[in-house]
Amino acid sequence: MSNIESKVTDLLSEIQDPWMGMDVASAHSIKEIAVEDGKLKLALEWAYPSKGVSAQFEQDISSKMLSLSEVDHCDVLISHGIGSNQGQNQLPSMTGVKNVIAIASGKGGVGKSTTTVNLALAMAAEGAKVGILDADIYGPSQGMMLGVDEGVRPQPYDEKHFSPIEAHGLQSMSMSYLVEENTAMVWRGPMAAGALQQLLTQTRWHDLDYLFIDMPPGTGDIQLTLSQKVPVAGAVIVTTPQDIALLDAKKGIEMFRKVDIPVLGIVENMSTHICSNCGHTEAIFGDGGGEEIAALYETELLGELPLALSIRQQADSGTPSVAADPEGEYAQIYRKVARKLAAGLAIKNSQQVVAPSIVVSND
């Protein structure tokens, strides 16, 4: 390492990345350090998508580099290199997918599907390639939330696979794309699990950094099928502060623990109610529940979303909050949650232990 490279690396180690909880030199990859006639070109590869904060990082790093006597001008370029996760029990990876993230809840009615679609859109806004698989076979809702017209069907990719449907820049697959809108899926558990397996194995995802799986509520056949067939990088638990919701959220966390899927964090929905007339906020479902359960299970409270009329209206209309109002308050909360989630997963990916290959020879 040259003298200037050593100085640049030392300065990078003085800049903290709050999302990773470590310094920039330790958290990310240095791709290029070049100085010519006092001009420093510095290329860095971030371990998670970070478009929302990259400009500030570039400014901070550039200012730091100008303290070097050899540097009169500094150009900082931040790109993103998303690692992949092997998931539980070394299951084979999904073709075209680096990281599978399950979004789950112990009970229905806590806003899990709304959280899933907005988190996926937020992750895409941060610079990642993202997909959604709607695993709620009995009550699929992602087609409606993504604004996919009734009657739109997946197109064949080859003889064995079909391509996902794209909406708002996301790749998506749902049982709602395969049946009529009013068709009731009157199936026993094994049939629903089989349908999920078909969606998983016959969808040809295209170079995804993250695949979000919108899970049905509970801890039944669908959850078990997922844990046995898919290398899930981790799960996010969605809950409300209400005591009964927290009780069911704990069951969901325990279920993921039993099948060796780490819980990456908690999202607390409906933290406060915001009056659409006067703006008054009130914690009508309780207070601090998400933080309490995160502490109990040694995971992270990724974020808190209010019970706001616009979040519901925008999801129902097929243009969720992050797409409808990308610079709005709620979109920014979802983007912070997505950033925390991606950074936490990047740390886990960097800590993965790869089993050594054993070679037998006659020497």
Q: What domains can be seen in the chain, in order of their start residue? A: 3-80 (3.30.300.130), 88-350 (3.40.50.300)
Any residues with CB less than 8 A from the CB of 3 and at least 6 apart, and which?
none
Work out the pLDDT band at 359, boundaries 50, 70, 90: very low
Work out the pLDDT band at 1, boundaries 50, 70, 90: low
Q: What is the pLDDT of residue 2?
A: 79
Separation between Cα atoms, residue 175 and residue 194, nearest integer Å: 12
Q: What is the pLDDT of residue 357?
A: 44
Q: What is the pLDDT of residue 345?
A: 95
Give the model confidence (pLDDT) of 232-255 as tens digits.
999 999 998 888 888 888 988 999
Give the model confidence (pLDDT) of 12-31 as tens digits.
999 999 999 999 999 999 99
Any residues with CB less than 8 A from the CB of 192 and at least 6 apart, and which?
137, 138, 185, 221, 222
Work out the pLDDT band at 341, boundaries 50, 70, 90: very high
Whether the per-residue pLDDT at 360 is higher than 60: the answer is no
